[in-house]
Structure 1
Amino acid sequence: WLKRVAKSGKPRGHLSVLVTGAAGFIGSHAALALKRRGDGVVGLDNFNSYYDPSLKRARQKLLERSGIFIVEGDINNSGLLQKLFEIAPFTHVLHLAAQAGVRYAMKNPKSYIHSNVAGLVSVFEVCKSANPQPSVVWASSSSVYGLNGKVPFSESDPTDQPASLYAATKKSGEEIAHAYNHIYGLSVTGLRFFTVYGPWGRPDMAYFLFTKDILKGRPIDIYQGPGNTTLARDFTYVDDIVQGCLAAIDTAEKSTGIGKGPAQLRIFNLGNTSPVGVTEVVEILEALLKTTAKKNLVAMPQNGDVLFTHANISYAKTVLGFNPRTDLRTGLKKFVNWYLKFHHPREKKI
């Protein structure tokens, strides 16, 4: 596997990128995009069972067909991380490995500390000790805005009222990033993703669950806020998110090291800027699937979810050239076509 790492990480161009969480939803898309343009890419993933690992294995096969090797291991394994850096001197780390999901934190809170806090520190530790130090781009989350009532959400808004443990760990990650940037001169860019969706998506996401249950004729629960208000999300298509990730990598300055001047530290919102109500998502899926959903309107439980998200992306537009192009109907059509091909291969495309 050492030779496979070296071969996978060797670039045709000038960048060599370690992608953590490479068998995940966003990680797999980003790894493929990097490889397509000629960058060396090595993946790292622990293939945990938060959701069905068979989907992660399918993504792994997709990446391997493109020449991307994924090392099976945990980001908290510092010895493994050090070994990877010895084999492939990475210029960049795209750190997407994390324990995702808001509600699962009520069942397994320690998994969030293990992955999102301790795991982030582990990645920063190997990066600050590497020679040369890589530039780091990592996934924060729109959830850090928590109970913030001002819309749209801007990077300068307060983020001191997290509504979930997941949000709190991502906020902690931003503070940890500041410390490693300040002390060790690491170039660090954090990306606050807004409700990413698309092909190869996470099965715990609402649009994925809705599609699955509508096709099986099972009722779906649609959460409502106080006074029967509709929940809304700034749904952002995965290809647009990947474009933002690559732009963050391409504009990342080199790390400076200890005592050699300030290093770059940035945070960006990556969203679509067009919040859509969950009921409209269901209506789009009904039209695409040509099936009427059986709907249960239920009050939103106190599980860490928020009523709405809405990104201000003016900073990302200016610095990264970030320009999301995919509207929700178009993106959901692409997702449904993938879903039918993956789970119902005899069904025709829509």
Structure 2
Amino acid sequence: MIDLKEILVTGAAGFIGGFLCKKLVEDTDCHIVGVDNMNDYYDPSIKQDRLSMIRDSDRSGQFDFIVGDISDMSSMQRIFESHTFDVVVNLAAQAGVRYSIQNPSAYIESNLVGFFNVLEMCRNYPVEHLVFASSSSVYGSNEKVPYSVSDRTDSPVSLYAATKKSNELMAHAYSKLYDIPCTGLRFFTVYGPMGRPDMAYFKFADKIANGEPIQIYNMGNLQRDFTYIDDVVEGIIDVMNQPPIRNMDGVPFKVYNIGNSNPEPLMRFVDVLEEVLIDEGVAEKATAHELLPMQPGDVYKTFADVSELEKDFGFRPATRLEEGLRAFAQWYVSYLGQKNAE
């Protein structure tokens, strides 16, 4: 276990980063430094709302926020020079599978150059543990399910996935060369309140609210291991506190899946989402479904084998799909009110 005093969270205004910082200020007495470049890839007002959420929970002044970009080495150096971090949690990244097809340079800059800068800072300003975000996308079009961390991940079907696999390789190299304890976390379709508007469930909600047809790919024949944000944050905090033991090669490096380990058919997900949005007064009835072919970079099914995380930390997701989507729908009501008032 680490005696945590100061933690850096990159991507602190992001979906996972925001809820992680909130939980840390609520449940620890650590000093948390959050960094985010606040870009406009999606509605920046949601990022501001997440920061407000953190500050509302920060009763002791534990949280400091810095507008900064991990791809800017000089900016990162200034941050590390003025703090002594015990743990770094790197969640900053350019997200989105489909956007990586349209704008690949953004992924190279943030996910590769930016992560290199984080690794360099952890080398030059040693930390006890670097925890970094990977993705279930690294499994590509693997047909074997559930996905195990021991499965091959050398056939990515999107540039986003390729950058996340590259992060794992880069971290392993730095862990071996410079003895930096590193843990990578492969997230599986994280959802919940204040989520990313580019995620399918958020887009579906927008369409349902406006009475417009929902576009559903692969003719609806998709399954996803939807994982509620609170369960993800619990897993991250468990991992943060315990750096990996050295593997057979003597490298302090480990990768885990964080998922619900219960893939849901996409059509059932849509049905539950429509039901809770109707219950919360967002819509009067279900909307039409437009069934389309599979999209480039997409995969048929994601399914996390979390046995390693369960064995090492006792991790067990506790949030049922109905509960998680109900919480999203209740937040979405207030989000719509805010948007309509603008």
Question: What TM-score do you get using the length of structure 1 for normalisation?
Answer: 0.89
What do the CA deviations read for 1:106-159 (whole angstroms, capped 9, x no partner)?
1110111111111111000011101x4341000000000001110000000000
CA separation of 1:262 and 1:196: change in aligned 2, threshold 3 A: same
1:15 CA displacement: 2.8
> Which residue number in structure 2 is paired with residue 338 of structure 1?
331
Amino acid at match of 1:122: N
Picking from 42, 46, 50, the partner of 1:51 is 42
CA separation of 1:335 and 1:218: change in aligned 2, threshold 3 A: same
Alignment of 1:299-338 (within 5 A): 299-301=293-295, 303-338=296-331
> Which residue number in structure 2 is paired with residue 275 of structure 1?
263
Alignment of 1:131-280 (within 5 A): 132-224=126-218, 228=219, 230-252=221-243, 262-280=250-268
CA separation of 1:229 and 1:336: change in aligned 2, threshold 3 A: closer
Q: CA RMSD in A?
A: 1.9
**Kept after mapping to 1: 8 A contact 2:245/2:253:** no
Distance 2:297 2:339 in 1: 39
> Which residue number in structure 1 is paired with residue 290 of structure 2?
296
| Partner SS, residue 299 of structure 1 | coil
* Identity within the alignment, %: 46
Amino acid at match of 2:85: F
Distance 2:154 2:93 in 1: 21
1:88 CA displacement: 1.9
Alignment of 1:117-136 (within 5 A): 117-130=112-125, 132-136=126-130
What do the CA deviations read for 1:255-293 (whole angstroms, capped 9, x no partner)?
9xxxxx945200000000111111111100121122212
1:254 CA displacement: 9.4
Picking from 83, 89, 94, the partner of 1:94 is 89
Moved more, 100-109 or 80-89: 80-89
**Kept after mapping to 1: 8 A contact 2:220/2:291:** no
CA separation of 1:346 and 1:160: change in aligned 2, threshold 3 A: closer
Distance 2:72 2:155 in 1: 31
1:234 CA displacement: 0.2
CA separation of 1:340 and 1:306: change in aligned 2, threshold 3 A: same
1:79 CA displacement: 2.1
| Partner SS, residue 150 of structure 1 | coil
Unaligned runs of 5+ residues in structure 1 are 1-12, 256-260
Picking from 20, 27, 30, the partner of 2:17 is 27
Distance 1:316 1:253 in 2: 12
Picking from 6, 9, 26, the partner of 1:36 is 26
**Kept after mapping to 2: 8 A contact 1:232/1:309:** yes
| Partner SS, residue 205 of structure 2 | helix
Amino acid at match of 1:110: S
Question: What TM-score do you get using the length of structure 2 for normalisation?
Answer: 0.91
